């Protein structure tokens, strides 16, 4: 049974203690924790999860293009409170992660708390009632606490290409892949060489008559080294202690890579060597190799993992266009270099509106201020989760809560601990929780100072950095374990103006 088949009936005007928007890893994780806590205490589980789609999974539900997979090993890219012994591969595919999340929702008893097909159109704080009023096309909800779990990878970004409307062929984004699309005898243009483009190209190269890859900037690519787990390994992982040992090993190995992001010469030199040797071993043609050599510091952009990307580029039916797609005229795509490419299909592997989430336009806090206005100079939140002027709002996987070197699920779980502590506090007092602007400003200043010397602000353009302010707004500029130490525990005193804890 899928999540959609278990969809409960909608109830307009529903009132609940906690309203969660989004049923990906963050929203489901909080739902599971709330459900378990209710079972332990015997209290009612007063929460709902609104999901605009008709299944759980978030980015792993939406992104089904061939080759989609995670670049964090399976045993770490999963809930610590619901580990899985029988992962099929070292790195999980998108389909396997989607099935894992479906299983979590079903077996943890979260499905009755889900409302599918609910697209939030407005969310505003009612100061008189001390409640959030949330509206969807199907009705309305009232909640003491509102939790945004919409994530960073939910709104596809298609660049404004001049003349794109004149293209007579098929246009699609990797986040809206059409599995019925037939590519045989088709000339395909792939726009973008980030992680999704790197994953998709090998498939396109095998299926299409010809592929033109539009590369605005060359990516650093390092070996993936994926493989299937043996039955003996899966049997060993039935031991919870063995699963925990594997998680710990992967986690601390990933943490050891963070000095690369600080630009420490020895650490970043090792990463450079790894990428260079990978390129040289897989691309023999010196001209192609030169075109695939980045001109920015490694780690400034996300570093894709692939053993198939470079070999795909060397196929006779693949052309690397080492410049961006600039305009379209009918069936012809014109690159920044002036080169013209006749195409039948255009695939945009151009990422998402990550630093400027559209959901912020829908949320109105105290004094009628929209969250998008508060974030005019980039996303900001105290402890990367609570926002000045927005009482009882908690943003999961939002400002400076992501990583460039370790598991996002580890970060999400630290935030879940914070939210549960805050909800406990609200249960005891019922007085709104609003972080003082001074606390948010001080936290932001500390993050900006920590980010200043990182590789992410070394000069390249990436989705980690807010395009208006130039601030690093997506990533935590430190080790993952320091995020948990700093932000994994709710502290009510800070909301009353107590001194802000040192980072």
Please report the pLDDT score of residue 502 as a whole number.
54
> Could you tell me which residues are beta bridge partners of residue 142?
15, 133
Which residue's entry shows tokens 């098929």? 170
Distance, CA of 464 to chain centre: 11
Cα distance between residue 187 and residue 87, in whole Å:
36
Same domain, 312 and 260: yes
Domain that holds residue 361: 4-155+354-445+475-495
Specify if 462 maps to a domain.
no
122-126 and 131-136: which strand pairing? Answer: antiparallel
Residue 257, Cβ neighbours under 10 Å: how many? 16
> Do 274 and 179 have their domain in common?
yes
Last residue in a domain, options 348, 366, 391: 348
How do 340-342 and 345-348 pair as beta strands? unpaired
For residue 419, the surrounding DSSP H or E stretch is: helix 408-429
Clarify whether residues 85 and 174 are in a common domain.
no
What phi and psi, each to the nearest 5 degrees, are found at residue 200?
-80, -35
Look at residue 466 and tell me if it is in a domain.
no
Q: Could you tell me if 221 and 278 are in contact, meaning their C-beta atoms sit under 8 angstroms apart? A: yes
Q: Which residues contact 145 (CB under 8 A, 6 or more apart)?
A: 17, 18, 19, 132, 392, 393, 394, 422, 423, 426
Residue 306 lies in a domain: yes
- What strands lie across the sheet with 210-214, from one edge to the other? 170-173, 345-348, 187-191, 210-214, 318-321
Q: Does residue 61 form part of some domain?
A: yes
Together in a domain, 199 and 127: no
373-408 as b/e, with b when 16 or more CB fall inside 10 Å? ebbeebbbbbbbbbbbbbbbbbbbbbbbbbbbbbbb
Looking at the fold, whether 189 and 145 belong to one and the same domain comes out as no
Strand partners, 189: 212, 346
Domain containing 291 — which CATH number? Answer: 3.50.50.60
What is the pTM assigned to this prediction? 0.94
Residue 331 token pair: 């069936």
pLDDT digits (tens, 9 = 90+) for 25-63: 999 999 999 999 999 988 888 999 999 999 999 999 999
Q: Which of 306, 324, 348 is the last residue of a domain?
A: 348
Which are the contacts of 4, defined by CB distance < 8 A and separation ≥ 6?
Answer: 54, 55, 116
Same domain, 199 and 341: yes
Instruction: Mark which of 348, 382, 414 sits at the end of a domain.
Output: 348
In tens, the pLDDT along 418-449 reads: 999 999 999 999 799 999 999 999 999 999 99
Contact call for residues 343 and 185 (beta carbons, < 8 A): no
Tell me the residue length of the chain. 503
pLDDT beneath 70, residues of the chain: 1-13, 498-503
- Cβ contact 123:364 at 8 Å: yes
What would you report as the CA-atom Rg of the chain, rounded to the nearest whole angstrom? 23
Q: In whole angstroms, what is the distance from residue 117 CA to residue 54 CA?
A: 6
**Tens digits of residue pLDDT in 173-184:** 999 999 999 999
Domain count, the chain: 2
What DSSP designation does 367 have? G
DSSP code at position 164: G
pLDDT score, position 499: 63
Same domain, 188 and 97: no
Gap between the Cα atoms of 115 and 6, Å rounded:
10
HSE on the CB side for 359, CA within 13 Å?
Answer: 27
Domain presence at residue 380: yes
Q: Residue 294 phi/psi, 5° resolution?
A: -65, 155
- Could you tell me which of 237, 255, 241, 221 has the C-alpha nearest to residue 90? 237
Say yes or no: 271 and 336 in one domain: yes
| Count of CB atoms situated within 10 Å of the CB of 67 | 18
Instruction: Clarify whether residues 416 and 378 are in a common domain.
Output: yes
C-alpha–C-alpha distance, residues 250 and 270, integer Å: 19
- 180-194 burial: b if 16+ Cβ within 10 Å, else e: eeebeebbbbbbbbb
- Same domain? For 364 and 417 the reply is yes
Q: Is residue 458 part of a domain?
A: no
Burial class (CB in 10 A: 0-12, 13-18, 19+), 285: exposed
Which DSSP string do the residues of 11-48 spell out, in sequence order? Answer: -TTEEEEEEEE--SHHHHHHHHHHHHHHHHHT----EE
437 found inside a domain: yes
> How far apart are alpha carbons 466 and 353 in whole angstroms?
10
Same domain, 24 and 116: yes
Within-domain flag for 468: no
Which stretches within 128-194 are classed as H helix? none
* pLDDT value for 11: 47
Same domain, 172 and 84: no
């Amino acid at each position: 049974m899928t999540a959609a088949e278990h969809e409960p009936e909608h109830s307009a005007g529903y009132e609940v203690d906690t309203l969660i928007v989004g049923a990906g890893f963050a929203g489901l994780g909080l739902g599971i924790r709330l459900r378990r806590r209710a079972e332990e205490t015997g209290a009612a589980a007063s929460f709902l999860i609104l999901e605009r789609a008709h299944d759980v999974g978030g980015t792993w539900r939406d992104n089904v293009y061939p080759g989609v997979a995670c670049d964090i090993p399976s045993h770490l890219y999963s809930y610590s409170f619901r580990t899985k012994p029988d992962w099929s591969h070292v790195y999980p595919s998108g389909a396997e992660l989607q099935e894992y999340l479906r299983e979590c929702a079903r077996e943890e008893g979260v499905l009755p708390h889900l409302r599918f097909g609910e697209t939030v159109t407005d969310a505003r704080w009612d100061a008189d009632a001390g409640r959030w009023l949330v509206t969807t096309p199907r009705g309305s909800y009232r909640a003491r606490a509102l939790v945004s779990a919409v994530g960073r990878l939910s709104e596809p970004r298609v660049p404004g290409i001049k003349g794109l409307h004149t293209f007579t062929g098929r246009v699609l984004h990797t986040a809206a892949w059409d599995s019925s699309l037939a590519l045989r005898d088709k000339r395909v243009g792939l726009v973008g060489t980030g992680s999704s483009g790197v994953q998709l190209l090998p498939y396109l190269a095998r299926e299409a008559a010809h592929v033109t890859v539009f590369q605005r900037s060359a990516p650093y690519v390092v070996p993936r080294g994926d493989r299937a787990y043996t039955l003996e390994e899966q049997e060993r992982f039935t031991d919870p202690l063995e699963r925990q040992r594997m998680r710990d090993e992967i986690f601390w190995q990933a943490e050891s890579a963070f000095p690369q992001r600080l630009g420490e010469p020895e650490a970043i030199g090792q990463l450079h060597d790894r990428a260079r040797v990978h390129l040289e071993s897989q691309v023999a043609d010196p001209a192609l190799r030169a075109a695939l050599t980045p001109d920015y510091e490694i780690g400034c952009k996300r570093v894709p993992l692939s053993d198939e990307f470079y070999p795909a580029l060397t196929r006779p039916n693949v052309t690397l266009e080492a410049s961006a797609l600039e305009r379209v005229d009918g069936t012809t795509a014109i690159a920044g270099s002036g080169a013209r490419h006749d195409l039948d299909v255009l695939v945009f592997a151009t990422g998402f509106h990550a630093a400027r989430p559209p959901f912020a336009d829908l949320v109105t806090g105290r004094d009628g201020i929209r969250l998008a206005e508060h974030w005019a100079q980039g996303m900001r939140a105290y402890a990367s989760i609570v926002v000045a002027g927005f009482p009882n709002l908690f943003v999961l996987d939002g400002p400076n809560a992501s990583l460039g070197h370790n598991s996002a699920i580890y970060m999400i779980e630290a935030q879940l601990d914070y939210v549960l502590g805050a909800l406990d506090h609200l249960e005891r007092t019922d007085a709104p929780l609003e972080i003082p602007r001074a606390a948010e400003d001080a936290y932001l200043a500390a993050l900006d100072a920590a980010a200043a010397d990182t590789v992410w602000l070394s000069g390249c353009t990436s989705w980690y950095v807010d395009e208006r302010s130039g601030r690093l707004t997506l990533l935590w500029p430190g080790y993952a374990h320091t995020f948990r130490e700093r932000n994994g525990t709710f502290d009510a005193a800070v909301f009353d103006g107590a001194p802000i804890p040192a980072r």
